[in-house]
Amino acid sequence: MKRGYLVLTLAVSGLMMIGAEGTIAAGSLAGAPLVSEGISLELGHRDYMNYCAACHGAEAKGDGTLGEFLTLAVPDLTKLSKLNAGKFPEERVMEVIDGRVDVKVHGMRDMPVWGDWFNREAASSNTDKVARELIVNDRIASLINYLKSIQTK
C-alpha cells in the first residue's frame, strides 16, 4: 500500500516539476536569452516553496507531505547551524543542493539533483552554457541564503 502511495506521489511531483519547467521555458519564447535574476531571498524562498517544501515542509522542519515515502528521514533545515556548532555549513549545503558533484556510493540519493534540474530549466537555444551556469549558481546561492535566514538560534 505504501509503495502505491509512493508511486502516486512521485508521479504528482514529476508533473509539478514539468509544470515549473514549462513556466521557466515560456519566458524564453520571445527569443530573448534567459538571464539570471541575481541572488535574493525572494528567489530563494520561491524556489524553496516550489522545489523543497514538498519534502522538507513549508516551515523547513522536515515535515513535508512526501517525507514519509523516503528511505531516509527528512532533516529539519532550520537546525543546520545548531547541529554544526553554531556555524551554517554553507559549502556542504551547496554540495547537497547542487548534487552534481555529490556521488553517494552507498544507496540511492532520495533528493533530486537540483543543479541538473535548474540547468535544464535554464536551457534555451539562445542561452549559452556560461549564462546557464550563472543562473544555476545564483538560484543555489539564493536557496542557501534563504536557508541561512531561517536558522533557529
Query: What is the rounded (10 degree) CA torsion for 97, 147, 8, 99?
Result: 0
Which residues make Cβ contacts (< 8 Å) with residue 1, sequence separation at least 6?
none
Q: Is the pLDDT of residue 43 over 80?
A: yes
What's the pTM?
A: 0.74
C-alpha–C-alpha distance, residues 80 and 31, integer Å: 41
| pLDDT per position as a tens digit, 67-78 | 888 888 899 999
Q: Is the pLDDT of residue 96 over 80?
A: yes
C-alpha–C-alpha distance, residues 49 and 142, integer Å: 13
CA dist list (Å): 19 to 16, 26, 43, 51, 130: 5, 10, 18, 12, 25
User: Which has more pLDDT, 18 or 89?
Assistant: 89
Which residues make Cβ contacts (< 8 Å) with residue 39, sequence separation at least 6?
138, 141, 142, 145
